[in-house]
Chain A
Amino acid sequence: MKVQSAMFYFPEEVIEHIFSFLTHHPDRNTVSTVCKAWYKIERLSRREVFVGNCYAIRPDRAAARFPGLRSLTLKGKPHFADFDLVPPDWGGLAGPWIEAMARSCPNLEELRMKRMVVSDESLELLVHAFPNFKALVLVSCEGFSTDGLAAVARSCKSLRELDLQENEIEDRGPRWLNSFPDMCTSLVSLNFACLKGEVNLKSLERLVCRSPNLKCLRLNRAVPVETLAKIMNQCPNLEDLGTGSLLADQFSEAYVSLISALQKCKKLRCLSGFWDASPLCLLAVYPICANLTGLNLSYAPTVQGQDFINLIQHCVKLLRLWVLDSVGDKGLAVVASACKELQELRVFPSDLFAAGPATVTEEGLVAISTGCPKLNSLLYFCHSMTNSALITVSKNCPNFTRFRLCILEPRKPDPATNEPLDEGFGAVVKTCKNLRRFSISGLLTDQVFYYIGKYAKALEMLSIAFAGDTDQGMTYVLNGCKNLRKLEIRDCPFGDGALLADVTKYETMRSLWMSSCDISLRGCKALATKMPSLNVEIINEWEAEMEENLNNGVAEVISNNNNKHINNGNDERKVEKLYVYRTVGGPRTDAPDFVWTL
C-alpha cells in the first residue's frame, strides 16, 4: 500500500520527462488516453503534431489542445489530386490553421504542409505571428506567389529552412530573393526548384555567400552553370545539391570552374536537377559520384544511353535513384551491377504513347531485383509486365515496404500468357510481409484482392485503378487488411454492395476515395446515415459547369433538371467521385458548391 501512495504522488514533471522520450505519434496518442492527468500532461508537453487529414479535426480545437506546439504537419487534398482528379477550389485551405495557431500556439517553429492551398496573406500572417519561426516546407501546395515568398524571406529573423517541392507558385518576379535581409545568415536549407520563373542571380550569390550553414540547396532551371560554379565555390560543405540548367559549352570558363568547384565538395551526398544536362556537364560530376547516396535524374531526359551508364557505374554507394525510363533495360542492368546498396528506385515514363526502343520492361525490373536485394521502395512505370517477372522480383527482394507498379496501358494482361496479373501481384504480397504501400495495375480480377486481403496484413495504403470484376474484390480488401488507412480506387466495377459491406471499417481508416466506380447516390446516403462519424462527400462537377456557362454568357440555355438539391433527384444516379473520411470536426464549413456532404 505504501507503493500505491507513492505512485499517487508521482510528480508531473517526472511523467513529463518520461513522455519526452516518446516521439512516435501513435505512442503519444495512446498515453494521452490513459487517464485525465496523463492527457493533460501529454497535451501540454507535446511539441509535434501530425494531422493526416486537415478536415479530421477543427483547427482551433487542435491548437487549443496543444498550446506548446512547435511543429505542425498538415495534409490536405486527397492523393489523387496530384493527377487532376480533384477539381480546383476543392479546399484544403491553410488559412484557418495558420490563424488558429496564431491565436493559441505562439511557439510554432515549423510548418509542413502537403496538398494544401496557401495564400500570400496566410504566409504574411505566418511570419508575423510566430517570432521563432524557423522552417517552412510546402509540398504540392498552391495558391501563393513569389510575393508570399518575399514576405517569408523578409520577416523571418532566423529562417533555417525554406523547402518548396512541386508547388504551383505564381511567378511575380525574381525580387523575392532580394528580400532576405542582409543580416540573415541562418539558412540551412533552401529549395526553390519548382519555381518556373527567372531568379535574380546576383542576389542568390550574395545570399549563399552569407549563409555559412547551408547544407541543402536546390536551384531552379533558370540558374545557369556560371552561377552554379560561383555558388559551389562558396559552399564546399554542401550535402544536398539541386543544379539549375546544366547546359554548358565544353570550353567555357563556367564549365571549367564548375569542375574544380565540385571536386572540393567532399560532403556532397545527394544530387538532383540536371535540367538540360549536356553529356559534358555530366563529366564534371564523376569525381563525386563515389560518395553519392541520392541521385535524381528524373527531370533530365537528355541523360540516357551511354552517358547514363558512364555516370551510374561510379555510384557504388547509391541508396536512392530516380530516373526516366529512357535509360532502358540496359541502363537498369548497369544500375543492378553497380549500386548494390540500392534501397529506393523510381522509374518515370518519358513517353506516354508507345514503347520506343529505349524504355524499360519487366527485364529491367528483374535485373534490378537480382542485383539489389536491399531494395525496399519501388515506383515503376512500364508498358508491360509479366507474372513470372513479378514472382521472380518478389523472391529476390522480400523486403519491400512500398511497391508501386504502373503499367501505362489500363487493363493490359501478361503479354506472354495473356492472363491477368493476379498471380504476380499476389506473389508480392505473399513474400513481402512488411508491405505498407501498394499500387497495382494491368489486367486484374477479384483474385488479386483475395490475395491482398489474405496476405497483406501490414498494408496501410492501397491504390487501385481499372481492376476487379465484382464487389467481392473490394470486400476482400476491407475485410482482410487490418491496418489499412488509405484506400483509393478509380475506374473499378465496385458498387454499393462493396461500399456498404463493412461500414465500421471506415472509422479505422483515414480516408476512402472512389471515382468512376459503380456506386450510386442511394449507397452513399446509406453510408452517411449509418456512420455519422464520417464525412461522406460527393464531388459532382455539373454544378460548376453550369455556373461557368452562365458566367460566359453562352447563348445556349442548358436546362437545369440535373438537380441542385441532392434530395430531389434520382437516388439511382451514379456518383462520380466519393471521398469518405473520419472526422471529429463535423461537416466541412468551407465546402465549395460541387462538394456535397451527405
Chain B
Amino acid sequence: MAAMSLLLRAAAACGARRAASGAAGGTRLSGLTGTARLPGTLVPVRHSSSHGKRMFIIKATSFYDKRFLRMLRFYVFLTGIPAALFITYVNIFIGKAELAEIPEGYVPEYWEYYQHPITRWIARYLLDPPEKDYEKEMALLDVEAKKTELRLKELQARKLMRHRGDGPWYHYETPDKNLIDNSMKATPDN
C-alpha cells in the first residue's frame, strides 16, 4: 500500500515529464505512428532495474490544445513556406539593385527609384506612379477648393439679394390686389 502511493507519485511525475516533453518535442519519428503501443508509461519499480510497472496516467485532455497548434502550424506554413522559398529565390538569383548616378539625358521610370526587386515589381505593376497619386491628390484639393468658393459666393449672393431685394431670390407670393374687398372702407363711420 505504501509502495502503491509511491508508484502513483512516480506515475504522476512521469506523466508530467511526458506532457512537458510532448509539448516541447513535437513529432517523434523513431516510433512508427501506425504500430500499436500499449497505453500508459513505464514507471520505475524499486529493486528491479529490468522492467517497470505499466501505469495508466489520468490527466486533463490536451487534444484541443494540440489540435489548435497543429492547425496553426499547418495554415501558417501553407502559404508561409512557398512565400519564404520565393523570397529566397529572388534574393539569391535576382538580387538587389545597385545605386548609380542618373545618366545624362536619361529619365528613369518611376519604379527604378526602389532597390528591392519585389518592391520594384509592386511599384511597377500594382501601384500607380507617384506622379499620378500627386495629381490625384491635387485634383481632390482643387474640387474641394472650388466647392468652398462657390458656397461662399452663394452665401454672399443670398445676403445681398435679401438685403437689397433687387435679385431673383427672396420673392414672396402676395395675394392679388383685385381680391381685396374695400366695401367696408366705402362708408366713413365704421
A and B from one complex: no
List the interface of chain A (C-beta within 8 A of B). Answer: none
List the interface of chain B (C-beta within 8 A of A). Answer: none
